[in-house]
Amino acid sequence: MVTLGVACATISSANVNQKEDINNSKSTSDYVIGISLLSIALVLSCFMGLYQEFTYVKYGSNWREGLFYTHFLALPLFLIFYSDMKEQIQGFNQSMPVSLEKAFSMLPVDIYIPNSINQVLKSCVIPRTWTYLIMNVLTQYVCISGVHRLNSIATALTLNLVLNLRKFTSLVISVWYFDNEFHIGMAIGGILVFSVAAAVHQAL
């Protein structure tokens, strides 16, 4: 039901985007390729979750070690995309400059910053896109740390259910925050996903 709910919401959103796209055939092929890659990644992540559960049971639940090696050993793979990364960095550097004080004000939550630190932040100016990247890295670190911590104390099945709920919640927040159109497919998907979440919560 969770899978059907997420798929229903995703397909509904894609159908609307395709109607708005003039080059519909190219949009459809890109969509199929993207969904295929995401599906493969989802299956592989499920196997990785099962393998991590096995290693935690056998060697102890040291989730920080798993978090470190999972990311450290993957760093050399980024060399394959060196030219793309170089192009992206050049694009980031050309984005509109913004002070760090203004960057913090763009966060969806209010953070108290002393006046003395505010003065320093005003003088620090960096391209706007880099501020988005930094905020994304920090929030992703909090997220992935929670994933590894949960994997060390729960089963892979529980972890995958929580991750699917997180992805669907991100979809709902993006619809609300960026004023995207809400479709009937998203409503049906939401009912399916949150019904399963409520049933699992009651069972636990």
The pLDDT tens digits of the residues spanning 187-199 come to: 787 777 777 767 7
The full set of domain ranges for the chain reads: 2-203
Phi, psi dihedral angles at 87 (to 5 degrees): -65, -40
The pLDDT tens digits of the residues spanning 63-113 come to: 888 888 888 988 998 899 999 999 999 988 888 887 776 666 665 555 566
The CB density around residue 10, as the number of other CB atoms within 10 Å, is 20
Cα separation of 103 and 53, whole Å? 39
Task: Let me know: does 151 contact 53? Beta carbons within 8 Å.
Answer: yes
State the distance between the two ends of the chain, measured CA to CA, in whole angstroms.
18
pTM of the model: 0.63
DSSP E strand boundaries for 91-201: 97-99, 125-127
